């Protein structure tokens, strides 16, 4: 068995049979990742719907910021709960729970008779989004073979982007109907994918690593056989997962003691994993990408574009650009690795945001707002979201779901995603207010500076994880002393 294990592992490292995309693993990843379309649709549709909500419900700009950002802040609740929940009831049923919660929130938002009622819907939908953002990449990472995990784990971001584009198209399609009903239809339509996701996920298998945690080894092996190229490879993967879990003998384990291990007494390796996972989630949202998408119509209204239909058309162009580049990134993640695409994306965002800042400042001070300056700004926005889709967008979910060891994965990822949601909410709820103080141009320069710092952080703090199994990745964060201690113990 030892010889077979070495041979299979050697083949996997050299990228032979395991580099073929396993169709069963792909189907599971696609089903799990469709959950992420819920956040994407909300991001896209609310950016247009809020223009009509403001007119219909007579809300102030501060109320608008709270309305837009509240979903992200409330998704913090779902993110924090999702780790414990998924360890307790499993990854698969947590995905169903996420879709069901968002469905209720979508109904509340679409049928809201008043601003407080609408806010209640945003709170409920936000909790569902928090669950989905953590569980989709974790499930996908745990079921994927190592050599194609980058592509499969980036699918949640692909579906977020598809959701954003879908939201823009719905904005454009329903912008012509009555102002009393168009925003309601836009928000109610979010309930449709939530129902489809809840039904589709029921046919998915459970994560093999969660099954090993529950000592259900035969079930885990059946799933691994379906997601591997051969039964021998499945046995190697099962042995690797089981060895990593053997120190935890109880099948009753459902996440107890993990928070203490993560926050109160972390090892040096765990501390480095936390810094990397929380850092990439922080910079993903500190980049202002969500806020730029939410408030792009406001930015271009200030630049001189007044027609709502034209504003929505620009959104569709940006959404198409974003969707194109996130697919390109997903296809090349396992070939070129996480670090090169992450560094390219973050550096490109810094340059794009600087150009957008210059364009916005020029338009703010220009008497007649020339067309060429508006075009340059639109192109800069498209480049900004495209570089985000190459780097931070997909890689944040991939990296967050793969760097934590098995015992800490669900709750560690939920902690990192909670930081993601908190920062997203804070940026979204303050973007307009700060921009009015320092202008949109000034705000874009601040975001460009954040991305310069992010690029340096990624370069120094984030090792490459391409082609390594989830059990091997933990060794990347150990220093020489820790590794030597581990060898002595074995």
Mean pLDDT of 34-58: 84
pLDDT tens column, 226-245: 998 888 889 888 888 888 77
Residue 251 pLDDT grade (very low, low, confident, very high; cuts 50, 70, 90): very low
Specify the pLDDT at position 16.
Answer: 39
In tens, the pLDDT along 388-445 reads 999 999 999 999 888 988 778 888 888 999 999 889 888 888 888 888 899 888 999 9
Q: What is the pTM of this model?
A: 0.77
Is residue 85 pLDDT above 60, yes or no? yes
Contacts of 400 (CB under 8 A, 6+ apart): 137, 277, 280, 281, 413, 416, 417
Question: For residues 33 and 45, what is the distance between their CA atoms, to the nearest angstrom?
Answer: 19
Confidence bin at 83 (pLDDT 50/70/90): confident
Q: In the structure encoding, which two tokens stand for residue 416, read together?
A: 């990192």
DSSP 417-466: HHHHHHHHHHHHHHHHHHHHHHHHHHHHHHHHHHHHHHHHHHHHH----T
pLDDT over 70 percentage in the chain: 90
- ∠ Cα 158 162 168 (to 5°): 145
- For helices 289-302 and 308-336, angle between their N-to-C axes, nearest 10 degrees: 150
Cα(317)–Cα(312) distance, rounded to whole angstroms?
A: 9
- Tell me: pLDDT of 11 over 70: no
Q: Give the residue with greater pLDDT, 101 vs 373.
A: 101
Task: Write down the mean pLDDT value for the chain.
Answer: 83
What 8-state DSSP symbol labels residue 366?
Answer: -
pLDDT at 366 over 90: no
Least confident of 124-128, 210-214, 486-490: 486-490
Query: What is the reported pLDDT for 167?
Result: 86
Instruction: Return the number of other C-beta atoms located less than 10 Å from residue 232's C-beta.
Output: 15
pLDDT score of 7 more than 50? no
The full set of domain ranges for the chain reads: 23-480
Mean pLDDT, residues 448-457 taken together: 96
Regarding predicted confidence, which is higher, 252 or 397? 397
CB 213 within 8 Å of CB 188: no
**In CATH, what class is 23-480?**
mainly alpha
Query: What average pLDDT does this structure show over 465-469?
Result: 86
463 phi, psi to nearest 5 deg: -70, 160
d(CA 341, CA 161): 18
């Amino acid at each position: 068995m030892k010889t077979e294990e070495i041979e299979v592992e050697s083949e996997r490292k050299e990228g032979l049979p395991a580099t073929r995309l396993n169709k069963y693993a792909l189907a599971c990843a696609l089903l799990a990742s469709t959950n992420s379309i819920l956040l994407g649709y909300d991001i896209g549709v609310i950016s247009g719907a809020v223009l009509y909500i403001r007119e219909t419900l007579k809300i102030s700009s501060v109320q608008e910021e709270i309305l837009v950002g509240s979903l992200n802040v409330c998704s913090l609740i779902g993110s924090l709960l999702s780790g414990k929940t998924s360890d307790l009831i499993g990854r698969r049923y947590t995905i169903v729970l996420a879709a069901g919660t968002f469905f209720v929130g979508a109904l509340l938002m679409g049928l809201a008779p008043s601003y407080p009622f609408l806010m209640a819907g945003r709170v409920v939908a936000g909790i569902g989004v928090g669950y989905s953002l953590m569980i989709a990449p974790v499930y996908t990472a745990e079921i994927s073979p190592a050599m194609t995990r980058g592509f499969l784990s980036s699918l949640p971001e692909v579906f977020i982007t598809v959701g954003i584009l879908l939201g823009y198209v719905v904005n454009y399609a329903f912008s012509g109907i009555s102002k009393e009903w168009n925003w309601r239809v836009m928000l109610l339509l979010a309930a449709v994918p939530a129902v489809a996701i809840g039904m589709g996920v029921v046919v998915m298998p459970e994560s093999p690593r969660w099954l090993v945690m529950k000592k259900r080894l035969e079930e885990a092996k059946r799933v691994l056989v379906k997601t591997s190229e051969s039964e021998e490879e499945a046995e190697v993967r099962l042995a690797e997962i089981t060895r990593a879990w053997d120190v935890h003998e109880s099948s009753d384990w459902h996440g107890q003691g993990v928070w203490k291990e993560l926050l109160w007494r972390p090892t040096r390796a765990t501390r480095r994993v936390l810094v990397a996972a929380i850092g990439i989630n922080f910079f993903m949202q500190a980049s202002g990408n969500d806020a730029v998408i939410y408030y792009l119509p406001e930015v271009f209204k200030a630049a001189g574009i007044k027609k709502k239909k034209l504003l929505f058309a620009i959104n569709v162009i940006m959404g198409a650009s974003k969707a194109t580049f996130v697919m390109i990134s997903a296809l090349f993640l396992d070939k070129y690795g996480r670090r090169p695409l992450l560094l390219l994306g973050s550096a490109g965002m810094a340059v794009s945001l600087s150009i957008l800042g210059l364009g916005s400042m020029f338009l703010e001070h220009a008497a007649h707002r020339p067309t060429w300056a508006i075009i340059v700004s639109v192109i800069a926005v498209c480049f900004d979201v495209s570089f985000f889709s190459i780097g931070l967008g997909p890689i944040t979910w991939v990296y967050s779901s793969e760097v934590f060891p098995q015992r800490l994965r669900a709750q560690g990822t939920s902690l990192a995603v909670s930081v993601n949601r908190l920062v997203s909410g804070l940026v979204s709820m303050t973007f307009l207010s700060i921009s009015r103080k320092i202008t949109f141009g000034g705000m874009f320069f601040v975001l460009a500076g954040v991305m310069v710092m992010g690029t340096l952080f990624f370069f120094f703090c984030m090792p490459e994880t391409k082609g390594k199994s989830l059990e091997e990745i933990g060794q990347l964060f150990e220093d020489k002393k820790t590794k030597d201690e581990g060898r002595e113990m074995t």
